[in-house]
């Protein structure tokens, strides 16, 4: 039986789905995979296998010691490069492809929920604003799903308390503001502390506290921060935090 090549539109949707789903849900029984594969004219097994092939291109595979399938095609590799080279553009074209499929298949629904947070659009062109509005909720979902919807420091799993925290601040690096590797899944209090430079991560992903926190004897702060000092965060199943981004945070934002 001749294998049918994946079209560009199908690949865009598959890569978008890879970003949105936790690694443990990339199987043929997942209702989202069943619905989307039907809309694409593919079997659930075919789409699930494609997601696993995509995972073999993700640096997280090596950090976590897992193994993806080795069948990633040149088209997969090219799409991975396109995605990671320009996240804003990728989110836009992938969302457009997904919307076209959704129009033809009403039962296929978008997984992500819009959540723009405190993003500022000041000084942006109309095109840039459109890309940001599309990309921001997808960035959030990619980061949270990578960490299986758990704070990487505390393990908190109440979604209403979770934030896709930028490692390099939004305004400081426009190229990587929608890059999931520039994100950490943190609880709201750890997100605020990270943004304020009160905490950071060492090269080995262990938690570092600023002097202000170390010297503070408040019981709540000790419970929220001190007990985790020196402990390694829970690494994500995909899109691991970029070492250069963490280095920037240690040097430019962290309060020693």
> How does pLDDT run across 60-84, given as a tens digit for each residue?
887 766 665 567 899 999 999 999 9
Domain co-membership, 153 together with 237: yes
* pLDDT tops 70 at residue 107: no
How confident is the prediction for the chain on average, in pLDDT?
89
pLDDT at 208: 98
In 10 A of CB 70, how many CB atoms? 8
In sequence order, the 6+-apart residues with CB closer than 8 A to the CB of 20 are: 111, 112, 138, 141, 142, 145
Residue 166 near residue 182 (C-beta atoms within 8 A): yes
Domain co-membership, 95 together with 183: no
Structure confidence at residue 105 as a pLDDT band (50, 70, 90): low
Domain co-membership, 249 together with 193: yes
Calculate mean pLDDT across residues 136-152: 97
What residues form DSSP beta bridges with 164? Answer: 185
**For residue 240, is it within any domain?**
yes
Rounded to whole angstroms, what are the CA distances from 238 to 75, 116, 119, 142?
20, 22, 24, 9
Q: Does 229 or 130 have the greater pLDDT score?
A: 229
Rounded to whole angstroms, what are the CA distances from 70 to 51, 67, 79, 242?
12, 8, 16, 24
**For residue 15, is it within any domain?**
yes
pLDDT at 127: 63
**For residue 94, is it within any domain?**
yes
**For residue 130, is it within any domain?**
no
Main-chain dihedrals φ then ψ at residue 49, nearest 5 degrees? -65, -40
Against a cut of 0.95, is the pTM above it?
Answer: no
The parent domain of residue 238 ranges over 149-253
Domain co-membership, 165 together with 218: yes
Q: Does 5 or 16 have the greater pLDDT score?
A: 16
Please, how many CA atoms are within 13 Å of residue 185, restricted to the half-sphere of its CB?
32
Domain boundary residue, one of 77, 104, 131: 104
Helix (H) or strand (E) holding 135: helix 126-146
Domain co-membership, 170 together with 81: no
Domain co-membership, 173 together with 236: yes
Rounded CA gap, 177 and 183, in Å?
A: 9
**For residue 142, is it within any domain?**
no
pLDDT at 115: 41
pLDDT at 4: 83
Helix (H) or strand (E) holding 188: helix 188-195
Q: Into how many domains does the chain fold?
A: 2
**For residue 165, is it within any domain?**
yes
Q: For residue 27, which of 41, 16, 39, 17 has the smallest C-alpha distance? A: 17
pLDDT at 69: 57
Rounded CA gap, 44 and 57, in Å?
A: 21
**For residue 160, is it within any domain?**
yes
**For residue 132, is it within any domain?**
no
**Percent of the chain surpassing pLDDT 70:** 86
pLDDT at 61: 80
SS3 218: coil
Domain co-membership, 154 together with 245: yes
Domain co-membership, 242 together with 174: yes
């Amino acid at each position: 039986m001749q294998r049918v090549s994946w079209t560009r539109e199908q690949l865009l949707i598959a890569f978008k789905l890879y970003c949105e789903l936790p690694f443990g849900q990339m199987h043929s029984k997942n209702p989202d995979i069943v619905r989307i594969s039907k809309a694409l004219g593919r079997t659930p097994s075919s789409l699930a296998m494609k997601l696993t092939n995509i995972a073999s291109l993700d640096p997280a595979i090596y950090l976590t010691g897992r193994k993806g399938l080795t069948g990633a095609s040149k088209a997969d590799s090219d799409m991975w490069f396109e995605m990671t080279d320009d996240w804003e553009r990728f989110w836009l074209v992938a969302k457009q492809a997904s919307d076209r499929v959704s129009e033809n298949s009403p039962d296929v629904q978008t997984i992500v929920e819009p959540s723009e947070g405190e993003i500022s659009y000041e000084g942006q062109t109309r095109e840039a604003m459109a890309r940001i509005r599309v990309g921001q909720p997808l960035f959030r979902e990619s980061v949270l799903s990578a960490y299986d919807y758990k704070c990487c420091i505390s393990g908190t799993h109440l979604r209403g308390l979770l934030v896709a925290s930028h490692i390099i601040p939004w305004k400081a690096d426009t190229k990587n503001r929608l890059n999931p590797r520039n994100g950490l899944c943190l609880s709201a209090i750890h997100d605020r502390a990270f943004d304020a430079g009160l905490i950071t991560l060492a090269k080995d992903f262990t938690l570092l506290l600023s002097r202000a926190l170390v010297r503070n004897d408040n019981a709540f702060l000790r419970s929220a921060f001190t007990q985790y000092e020196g402990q390694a965060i829970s690494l994500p199943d995909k899109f691991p935090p970029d070492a250069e981004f963490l280095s920037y945070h240690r040097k430019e934002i962290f309060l020693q």
